[in-house]
Amino acid sequence: MKNLRRKTLAAASAVTLGVGLAVTGGLAPAASAAGPDTTFLVLAPQGATTDKAAARVAAANGTVVASYDQIGVLVVRSTNPEFVTDVAGAGVESVASTAGLGTALEEGETLEVSAAEAANTTADPTKEPLFGQQWDMPMIGVPQAHAVNAGSADVVVGVLDSGISSSHPDLATQIAKDKSTSCIGGVTDTTEAAWNPTTSDHGTHVAGTIAAAVNGVGVTGVAPGVKVAAVKVVNDDGYIFPEAAVCGFMWAAEHGMELTNNSYYIDPWELNCRNDARQRPVWQAVQRAIRYSQSKGVLHVASAGNSNYDLAHKLDDDGSPNNGTPEERENLTNACLDLPAEAPGVVTVSAVGPTGAKSYYSSYGQGVIDVTAPGGDTRFRTQGVRSTLTDAILSTTWSRANGNGWGYKQGTSMSGPHATGVAALAASAHPGLNPGQLAALLERTSVSQSCPEGVYNPVPLIPSGPNAYDATCSGGERNGFYGAGIVNAYNAVK
């Protein structure tokens, strides 16, 4: 059976830089004994206002901290240990506590690039000192694309992540500060300090891949002409809670963003099962937020994950939740989805290494993967024995100890922003496309990649075992490893 080695954000990166449903009934008296201060998602019936739900929240000794009337979702805090029971009734479709539903951010070892390296000039046509170490950019046609269209400042990409360093020399001019916010706790805070990183540079790395400036310093992004907005959804402890994700999608919808990049998972379950009473309210709230933002013109791009898991053939899950005692869940069905990667309309991205072959860690699945992009593969050269750090993705970094810098990470968290950057170039070159049209263009301009024959495993000598990363690709020109193919920036803009 497959053990889902679930990793969040830059997971699979040995090389990084750097619930129950409410029951129906009348208003119940609020419990007198106080419990822990807990966050809940309270959903009104689809299409209904939140007025009745808000009244029931107040009667159940809860406080509404954020109201998303557009989708009928309330973010609530309460110390009432019987809140789920007490809030149930007319006007409330479902309710779920989000306690324990965060997913820890895992960070690997750091490999930094020196400031001297970042400042040296080269003869590269992009004029960026570290471009020679960015093998990923030529792979997807970035130099040729920049000669045609390097991106429009009218295109804004929301980076739902751990924040973006606003003082980084490669990003300071690239951030749409008026569209940036923190969504921690499901509540927006637009102060600059709130949406800057505090414990993780993951969002800064992702933002650099999308839009690092062409300014004679450091690296280039895929689309340096566009703007990125920091939408912070990872808290200081490294957790991504559902209320923060809902807030992020809604913020993007209401602030004119064309795209969001989502290199994260929404709760600790590798697969969120809509037929599981504990998880269904979370799925409902997230799906409502995604659908609403899509209706407002936002295309969402998400990473496929780093578990080398076949998302098209879900059998079991014995590694979730990953923030507690794992449960054995067998005989899973397609009601169990990887969020947000498998939400309808979301572009799902797998990862390839420098050879263009599937990265050993990348999840896959026929009919699930839409496109693929460079995410790094530090093990293929040694068949898994040890890491070659420079085969990861070089981008912008930040740390509390060393401040701003540049360094390497790998994961589908890194492939996602490459696809997002190409989509941003496409939106710049072909304005007016709706999310579906933009996604179709991204796929149509990708370069198809054939399935390898037989069982694929580029790392048979990895310490975890000779068959630890076995995978089998299915499909033809569009297949389970690569979807429509490797994204191509030049094809998207010409």
Catalytically active residues are: 161, 202, 413
Report how far residue 427's alpha carbon sits from residue 295's, in angstroms, rounded to the nearest whole number: 17
Q: In this structure, what DSSP letter does residue 139 have?
A: H
Give CA 410 to chain center in angstroms.
14
Closest-CA residue to 415 (of 431, 382, 392, 386): 392
Single-letter residue type at 475:
G
Joined tokens for residue 77: 């805090």
**Helix ranges (DSSP H) in 60-134:** 83-86, 115-119
Partnered with residue 29 across adjacent β-strands are none
Q: Coil, helix or strand for 299?
A: strand
CA distance 413 to 203: 10
d(CA 165, CA 465): 39
Write the CA distances from 433 to 224, 255, 417, 422, 429, integer angstroms: 20, 17, 20, 14, 10
Cα Rg of the chain (Å, integer):
22
- 297 contacts 434 by C-beta, under 8 angstroms: yes
Please name the amino acid found at residue 304.
A
CA–CA dist 106, 95 (Å, integer): 29
Q: Which of helix, strand or coil describes residue 175? A: strand
298 is written with which tokens? Answer: 């936002």
CB 451 within 8 A of CB 479: yes
If 0-12 CB within 10 Å is exposed, 13-18 middle and 19+ buried, where does residue 123 land?
Answer: exposed
